[in-house]
Amino acid sequence: MKNRLIKTLAGITLSFSIVFSGVALASPQSASAATVSKSDVAEKVIATGKQYLGVRYKFGAPAGRTDMFDCSSFTQYVFKKNGIKLPRSSRQQAKVGTYVPKSQLQPGDLVFSDTNRDGVINHVSIYMGNDKLIHTYRVGIGVTISKFKGSTWDKTYVTARRVI
């Protein structure tokens, strides 16, 4: 009788351990499905930027304002809305994240230019993919989408950084 009870309890214990190990194996799949990919974040950053198309340009626009931007306050704001903290100036932003060669740009990468051609980074834009940038750079234009290849931004390109 005692032997039979031990075998029954062992069988029940083994059955429960098999059932619960199956649940544990299924959990990582549901957790990975909830993980947000880098491309999803890039899409959200670009979509956030597009919400501000046409917002006026003002050099030195204060951080956090959405009625005016300069290039780096725009990138700082758009990335912050998507959980990524950037420094305030384009020169400071060019030092964060990881270096990306121009030939390997992906949507969401920051593109830095020296439009004054004085050896100092003075402009930042967001690469959208398909040879396009979203940025702001001049009074009367405001936040806009520009072609990259062959543009001023391409001709004065200094570096790119991946912060996503």
Q: Which one of the listed residues 135, 136, 142, 148 is annotated catalytic?
A: 135
Tell me whether residue 123 is one of the annotated catalytic residues.
Answer: yes
Tokens read off for 135: 């940025």
Q: Which one of the listed residues 41, 68, 71, 163 is annotated catalytic?
A: 71
For residue 142, the number of C-alpha atoms closer than 13 Å in the C-beta half-sphere is 12
Q: Which one of the listed residues 123, 124, 137, 163 is annotated catalytic?
A: 123
- Percent of the chain as helix, strand, coil, to the nearest 5: 40, 20, 40
- What is the Cα–Cα distance from 72 to 123, expressed in whole angstroms? 7
Give catalytic residue positions.
Answer: 71, 123, 135
